[in-house]
Chains A and B, each alone.
Chain A
């Protein structure tokens, strides 16, 4: 995001579409002059011209293109004391898309600039109005898909985690201060803090951190790891492929269709090219019983983890007869129409020589078999590396935001909390063993640094880029 902070931005702050109320927000140094050229108060002109504190003004917006004045309520924050730390205002009006568009355009004519994704929140963050956790929570509120998620986001926005961490940090700083005093003022006949007291307080800190970590883990909707689901008709070689990729014989493999009745999953570290990605690989039961209706099959697939997959690897054996091919085609389409991310592969290609004369293959069977289908053999290992690379590539490129409520925070928190805990544990160890206060102090400093990362104390470009690129405009 380009960082221009001294111009004035405007954008809708309510969801698009018709609704009872629509909000357009405007923020920046020229807010007042822009708003004045658009808005007329219904009464209280004096107060309007001299407003110094946040106030609400009923009135109208003059929009030449509309022909008639548009009734609006104006919420005005005339000074830096606003959400964005800049002069800011909100037009509340009927949420009719043409009206909203007309008002926005009028604001743009008056030199407001369309806000970019996350720009209001970024200004709020940069003005010190909200911390990183809260900034991320704004994203959570925007993206919340159900009530529970919304509650979680709102709690975070209210600073619930922040306040727990802030007091934890304050206590750690107190312990560290006492420790440091003992190191620097060796000639005083004062015992600044006893070893037992250090260990006791660090243990409390450790417990608090553990409970926060548990929270963070729960916020990861699908255990955070990207889920890659192997799907396809029975006996398409999914389990053999699964075993090949997991590197163990976790799935029972047999030539009998329908061997995999439930689903199996394993965490796999995919290495492809220069990249490495942790995924959860899921082997589903084949979509069996060719006699069933397509609809039923589709439901079955839904029940088989396919829906929750970040990527569905559709496995189709090279050895299919024309009926199986048609079935495969239909099932695959049903997944595609639901908008699920799909990767087509052809399995069991080691059998290619044997089946070179296979009629369906030879005829090409329409558009479902294309040259771009990735051919693999779990038996010989052919194409597996390419498959790994392709999966990584697809996962990185699709960056789906869906279902990742607060995942940014959660992942960032989890990593820092884990490191903070291990630093605290190391501090507890060195304190209990009496191996040196200076070593305990070093561990404590490290855990404080990690807490700083969560609270936004330490901002690297990367963290900011990552967060702010995920905000939608107007919040």
Chain B
């Protein structure tokens, strides 16, 4: 090692996006001396793409992050400008909070919280290499001849690894418009034996709101009674700003078709895979040729800016085509583009190279979180960051790891999917990925996870106390519902009826008022009561599956020796190294017969 500066930390987090900030905050909260390294301190927590947090399944993840003491929920509560509970017409398991953020306010709030965190040092550095000794991570080398020594490193490189941005035929290096790409890290990872592949993602143009005629668009107001994301936020007090709905037109589709040969995805300039569920407008026009129009959401990017995000028309078409098509959108006839849409290609590391703690198999003490694992989305990134940070701290404290079950959290589903199935396209969470959707609700994330957080020491005393008080309320409520009866039925039975609510119960039984139940506790009791039958069914299914699920496969187990396994199965299982039979059974291409063979061998 050359002479130079060196700094000693327990945990070093590389990258200060949604994954990096949560990772660093979590490790620091758990007492680890943590350094958070970013190429630019002015972009901490930046929302690179859309201005929204939450959505279906993603909103539930934000709630889970919050329940484990994470920051995302509180930051969006403080800086949101438009709150909606999606799917509110459906059952409680589908209710999904979503909010538009004031982008700049969001990132400044996040940065401020990072700065305020005890044990956490934010540093502007350009990372050059990962340092290791004997297969264990020892630190991070940065430009300027300095080394950050640490027992654990969390890498959250987002879209920056060897990033190339495309707008039509034009190409530029950079992980985000206006920012550089990161080059050293990819080589360093390859040298450590970590496989890298390429994904692409895209972003739409931003417009100047002054030049949009919103009267030609349909307003989309926020909810009257906005619900906070964080269990620590009592209510959302700020005024909300409306979003607007408009759409593409047939003429626009015609022009896109005529210019497809200039779109990098179609000209062959980009060959990496993008997400199917967040297609570019080029993709939409080609794949759903029969549709004459597609929705566009015009979303304001903040209170102190006129910039508007055109959600629904992510594109990498050349500038002149973008200018042309934007003006064909109703309301945007005279609109000016402030930033053109572009696609970005970047390196990611196939996540099957990870343990379920997000530690790499190749290098002890090295953790990956966020888009480097082939995911997309702020929420997915933040959740991984939080868990990587917690696990890094736990490891340094010689404590057991935190691995969440699929039946306990969307975060459990997320990580289990990543490390056992891998990704063929950027991974985004859907509620349908969760087998136990009715249990994994946004209303009970705290009840599912906060006890764990208390046990691990990653939530504050204030949160722990608030949670215990809430549980006591629910306890009181439950007892009362079972104890009191009216017209031969317990109050619980009354509450189970679809059209009954607490108001009716209070009229029947005024004594209930004395319990002083908060609205949230009453709501929770009502949901648990009305869903009880379904919840029981899902719980018994979990118990049934637990048997196979929990059969452990020893670390030393040699799949190649199981000659009766099909060649493909042997090869896949050797590569993915599932730790339980349950995990093995979810590996794509693994058949029930393979599992039967495995079970026999393990017995």
Contact = CB atoms under 8 A, between A and B. Distances in A.
A409 B193 CA distance: 49
Contact of A459 (B94, B541, B592): B592
A189 B87 CA distance: 13
B261 interface: no
A85 B432 CA distance: 36
Contacts of A461: 599, 603
A438 B437 contact: yes
Interface residues of A, number: 34
Interface in B304-329: none
Contacts of B57: 184
A458 interface: yes
Contacts of B557: none
B90 interface: yes
Interface in B587-602: 591-597, 599-601
Contact of A438 (B90, B541, B597): B90
B414 to A, nearest CB: 15
B599 A458 contact: no
Contacts of A123: 564
Interface centre among A6, A180, A459, A460 (most CB of B within 10 A): A459
A29 B563 contact: yes
A126 B295 contact: no
Contact of A128 (B541, B547, B591): B591
B563 A6 contact: yes
A441 B595 CA distance: 26
Contacts of B541: 446
With a 10 A CB-CB cut-off, give which of B91, B93, B592 has the most chain A CB atoms: B592
A183 B593 contact: no
A186 B86 contact: yes
A5 B432 contact: no
A436 interface: yes
Contact of A458 (B534, B538, B563, B592): B592
Contacts of A437: 90, 94
Interface in B494-550: 534, 537-538, 541, 547-548
Nearest to A2: B600
A457 B592 contact: yes
B435 interface: yes
B438 interface: yes
Interface in B565-601: 566, 591-597, 599-601
Contacts of B538: 442
A184 B90 contact: no
Contacts of A441: 432, 437
Nearest to A436: B91
A38 B227 CA distance: 80
A460 B547 CA distance: 9
Q: Which of A184, A441, A446, A461 has the most CB atoms of chain B within a 10 A radius of its CB?
A: A184
Contacts of B96: 186
Given A5-B564, A6-B564, A180 B432 contact: yes
Contact of B564 (A126, A452, A464): A126
A456 interface: yes
B220 to A, nearest CB: 10
A184 B564 contact: no
Contacts of A91: none
A39 interface: no
A128 B593 contact: yes
B592 A127 contact: no
B431 A184 contact: yes
Nearest to A180: B432
B93 A438 contact: yes
B56 interface: yes
Interface in A1-33: 3, 5-6, 29
Contact of B91 (A189, A439, A446): A439
Contact of B537 (A127, A438, A442): A442
A183 B295 contact: no
A159 to B, nearest CB: 15
B565 to A, nearest CB: 9
Interface in A419-475: 436-439, 441-442, 445-446, 452, 456-461, 464
Contacts of B94: 183, 186, 436-438
B295 A3 contact: no
B430 interface: yes
A187 B597 CA distance: 44
Interface core residue of A186, A445, A461 (most chain B CB under 10 Å): A186
A6 B565 CA distance: 11
Interface in B65-95: 86-87, 90-91, 93-94
A437 B90 CA distance: 8
Contacts of B537: 442, 446
A180 B591 CA distance: 24
A125 B599 contact: no
A292 interface: no
Contacts of A126: 564, 593, 596-597, 600
A188 interface: yes
A445 B87 contact: no
B564 A127 contact: yes
B86 A184 contact: no
A443 to B, nearest CB: 9
Contact of B566 (A6, A127, A438): A127
B86 A460 contact: no
B563 A438 contact: no
Contacts of A184: 56-57, 430-432
A184 B91 CA distance: 13
Contacts of B87: 183, 186
> Which one of B435, B538, B563, B564 has the highest number of Cβ atoms from chain A below 10 Å of its Cβ?
B564
A189 B432 contact: no
B566 A183 contact: no
Contacts of A125: 593, 596
A189 B295 CA distance: 7
Nearest to A188: B295
A187 B431 contact: no
A155 B434 CA distance: 38
Nearest to A463: B596
A430 to B, nearest CB: 10
A184 B297 CA distance: 18
A446 B436 CA distance: 11
A433 to B, nearest CB: 10
A183 B431 contact: yes
Interface string A136-165: 000000000000000000000000000000
B86 A187 contact: yes
A389 B56 CA distance: 57
Contacts of B90: 183, 436-438
B438 A442 contact: yes
Interface in B384-401: none
A197 to B, nearest CB: 18
Interface in A177-221: 180, 183-189
Interface string B421-446: 00000000011100101100000000
Nearest to A437: B90
A180 B593 contact: no
Contacts of A452: 592
Nearest to A182: B90
A460 B546 CA distance: 12
A446 B534 CA distance: 12
A419 B277 CA distance: 34
B601 to A, nearest CB: 7
Contacts of B595: 459
**Which of B56, B438, B599, B600 is the most central at the interface, judged by chain A CB atoms within 10 Å of its CB?**
B600
A285 B293 CA distance: 80
Given A183-B56, A183-B94, A3 B437 contact: no
7 contacts: A126-B593, A127-B593, A436-B91, A438-B91, A442-B438, A459-B592, A459-B593
Given A189-B295, A436-B94, A438-B90, 6 more contacts: A127-B593, A180-B430, A183-B90, A184-B430, A439-B438, A459-B595
Listed from nearest, the 9 A-B pairs whose CB atoms lie closest are: A5-B564, A180-B432, A3-B600, A436-B91, A184-B430, A128-B593, A459-B596, A6-B563, A457-B592
